């Protein structure tokens, strides 16, 4: 009997991973864009460079990844999946001029780190991106459940809203959630950011690191991204 129960449990987990989970987040509202803004956003979602961690030192990059990985482990048990997710969050957030810790707080509130989350309004994935964005600034065949596609769109959209509201984070978060003017959602995101994902950058602790600031480029399977990883990687973490 226990073997039957074990098989049923495994099938249950497999189905749960494959079927989109309903999220209780809000949704971005469609707003007409000028041709110049639409073109700029399209360019922003089209770049296919390989994600990497951008820190002044190798030690700082490793510390950040290890710290965030520990915090995320209970929600995302697979280490490789977790670290790929974190490197991509960091890259996409920094690329859009956002604090990666803020983006982690937003994802926690929007989807609780569920890749296949779907809101009642139809928003999809980690950052709960509405499908109309793919048609508006990307391509109709973009899969918003794909890790990097979802994070790219989400970060570009939040940056767009921040620019619209002249850097007012609370208004930008309200637009992102479709609840502009209401304090609940911005407060939840900021609370998660400060309580669960705050990270204080440390000063380099070796003369070698201070003398040779570096970028970390995390190695993943070539199929994970549009462009292949660097060829000369002897370990999981590559420095360039």
State the CATH number of the domain containing residue 125.
1.10.530
| Domain-embedded: residue 6 | no
| pLDDT of the residue at 90 | 96
Centre a 10 Å sphere on the Cβ of residue 226 and count the other Cβ atoms it contains.
11
Listed in sequence order, the residues at least 6 apart from 158 whose beta carbon sits closer than 8 Å to its beta carbon are 96, 98, 103, 106, 172, 173, 176
- Percentage of residues in the chain with pLDDT exceeding 90? 52
| Domain-embedded: residue 19 | no
Report CA Rg, the chain: 19
Summarised one tens digit per residue, pLDDT across range 174-188 is 999 999 999 999 999
| Domain-embedded: residue 21 | no
CA gap 81, 98 in Å, rounded: 22
Six-digit token pair at 66? 């290890």
Q: CA angle 128-188-119, nearest 5°? A: 25
CA gap 168, 100 in Å, rounded: 17
Which own/partner contact pairs does 157-163 have at CB distance under 8 Å and 24+ positions apart? 157/28, 157/129, 157/133, 158/96, 158/98, 158/103, 158/106, 159/44, 159/96, 159/97, 159/98, 160/37, 160/41, 162/98
In the chain, the N- to C-terminal Cα span, in Å, equals: 54
pTM, full prediction: 0.73
Q: Are 121 and 22 in contact (CB under 8 A)?
A: no
| pLDDT of the residue at 46 | 66
| pLDDT of the residue at 192 | 97
Listed in sequence order, the residues at least 6 apart from 155 whose beta carbon sits closer than 8 Å to its beta carbon are 92, 93, 95, 96, 98, 103, 127
Q: Are 92 and 151 in contact (CB under 8 A)?
A: yes
How confident is the model over 26-49, as a mean pLDDT?
Answer: 65
| Domain-embedded: residue 63 | yes
| Domain-embedded: residue 144 | yes
Summarised one tens digit per residue, pLDDT across range 97-126 is 999 999 999 999 999 999 999 999 999 999
CA gap 94, 88 in Å, rounded: 10
pLDDT surpassing 90 at residue 24:
no
Nearest to 72 by CA among 199, 188, 158: 199
Domain count, the chain: 1
Summarised one tens digit per residue, pLDDT across range 50-86 is 787 888 888 999 999 999 999 999 999 999 999 999 9
| pLDDT of the residue at 68 | 97
pLDDT surpassing 60 at residue 7:
no
Six-digit token pair at 134? 């793919």
| pLDDT of the residue at 136 | 82
Nearest to 138 by CA among 124, 125, 157: 157
| Domain-embedded: residue 8 | no
For 69, the domain range is 26-239
Listed in sequence order, the residues at least 6 apart from 56 whose beta carbon sits closer than 8 Å to its beta carbon are 204, 209, 213, 214
């Amino acid at each position: 009997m226990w073997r039957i129960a074990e098989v049923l449990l495994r099938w249950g987990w497999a189905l749960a991973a494959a079927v989109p989970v309903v999220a209780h987040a809000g949704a971005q509202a469609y707003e007409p864009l000028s041709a110049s803004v639409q073109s700029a956003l399209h360019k922003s979602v089209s770049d296919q460079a390989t994600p990497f961690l951008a820190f002044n030192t190798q030690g700082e990059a490793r510390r950040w990844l290890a710290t965030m990985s520990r915090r995320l482990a209970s929600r995302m048990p697979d280490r490789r999946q977790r670290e790929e997710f974190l490197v991509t969050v960091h890259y996409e957030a920094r690329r859009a001029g956002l604090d990666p810790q803020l983006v982690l707080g937003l994802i926690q509130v929007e989807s609780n780190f569920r890749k296949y989350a779907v809101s009642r309004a139809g928003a999809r994935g980690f950052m709960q991106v509405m499908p109309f964005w793919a048609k508006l600034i990307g391509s109709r065949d973009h899969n918003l459940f794909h890790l990097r596609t979802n994070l790219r769109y989400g970060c570009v959209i939040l940056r767009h809203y921040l620019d619209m509201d002249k850097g007012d984070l609370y208004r930008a978060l309200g637009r992102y959630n479709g609840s502009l003017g209401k304090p609940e959602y911005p407060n939840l995101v900021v609370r998660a950011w400060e309580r669960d994902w705050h990270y204080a950058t440390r000063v380099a602790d070796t003369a070698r690191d201070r003398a040779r600031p570096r970028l970390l480029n995390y190695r993943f399977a070539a199929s994970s991204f549009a462009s292949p990883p660097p060829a000369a990687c002897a370990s999981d973490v590559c420095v360039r």
